[in-house]
Amino acid sequence: MIKKSYYATPKFDSSKKKFTVEHTVSDTVSDTVSDTVSDTVSDTVSDTVSDTVSDTDEKYWIDKGWKLSSLTPSNLFNEETYHVQIMDAFRTAIKINPKSIEAHLGLSAAYWNAGFMEAATESVDNALGIDRKNWKVWETRFFISLNMLSFEDAKISLEVIKDLNDLPQETYEKMLNEFEKRKKIDQSWSK
């Protein structure tokens, strides 16, 4: 059987000016084929079971929010319904665990992608109230500030994030380059 572990991480795609989800799937292999079939059937069934089954499962709601956000609106549901479903999934995760950084970042990404910039900022600020040393929260805050053309807020995020220990150097360099690029574009528009 192949057992899949699913992880979703929000990332800001500056070319699309939109948050996307980086999916990580790890596989654990087992010997029996019937387990694989069983897993496939149970995944299908669990997706159709009422959400009330998972009223206390924060990870279920976070995964549901990220899975929905990786889809695009279709003829099955309109864009408004699509965004509301994603936001509701992350809000439910936050109700279950108000200190969930991933749920707050997911909600922030959902707000951003729906065009609610202030709500996105508020959700990131809520995450900062939980953990001010989480570089992913500061990275999200940085990109929201940058895209709202709030260069002072983006600069503050850059100053804070550079001192965090677990920040990958390449992430910081990309942020710094994006800051300089956007600032130049804004200066050329201002002229």
More confident residue, 118 or 80: 118
Per-residue pLDDT reduced to its tens digit, 149-191: 888 999 999 999 988 878 899 999 999 999 999 888 877 665 5
Please name the helix (run of DSSP H) or strand (run of DSSP E) that holds residue 150, with its range, or none: none
Asked if 113 and 167 sit in the same domain, the reply is no
Domain boundary among 96, 118, 140: 118
Say yes or no to pLDDT of 124 above 90. yes
In the chain, how many domains are there?
2
Instruction: Please report which confidence band the pLDDT of residue 38 belongs to, taking 50, 70 and 90 as the band edges.
Output: very low
Q: Whose CA is closest to 146, among 114, 178, 120, 123?
A: 178
Burial of 110 (0-12, 13-18, 19+ CB in 10 A): buried
4 or 20: which leads in pLDDT: 20
Residues 151 and 90 in one domain: no
Do 101 and 63 lie in one domain? The reply is yes
Are 113 and 137 in a shared domain? no
The answer to whether residues 28 and 110 belong to one domain is yes
Q: pLDDT value at position 108? A: 95
* 59-116 pLDDT tens trace: 999 999 988 888 776 655 677 788 889 999 999 999 999 999 999 999 999 999 888 9
Domain membership of residue 45 (yes or no) is no
What is the greatest pairwise CA distance in the chain? 67
**Last residue in a domain, options 84, 118, 152:** 118
Same domain, 141 and 95: no
Q: Residue 177 sits in which domain range? A: 132-191
The answer to whether residues 29 and 89 belong to one domain is yes
Name the nearest CA neighbour of 145 among 15, 22, 40, 12.
12
Burial class (CB in 10 A: 0-12, 13-18, 19+), 167: middle
187 inside domain: yes
Check: CB of residue 146 under 8 Å from CB of residue 156: no
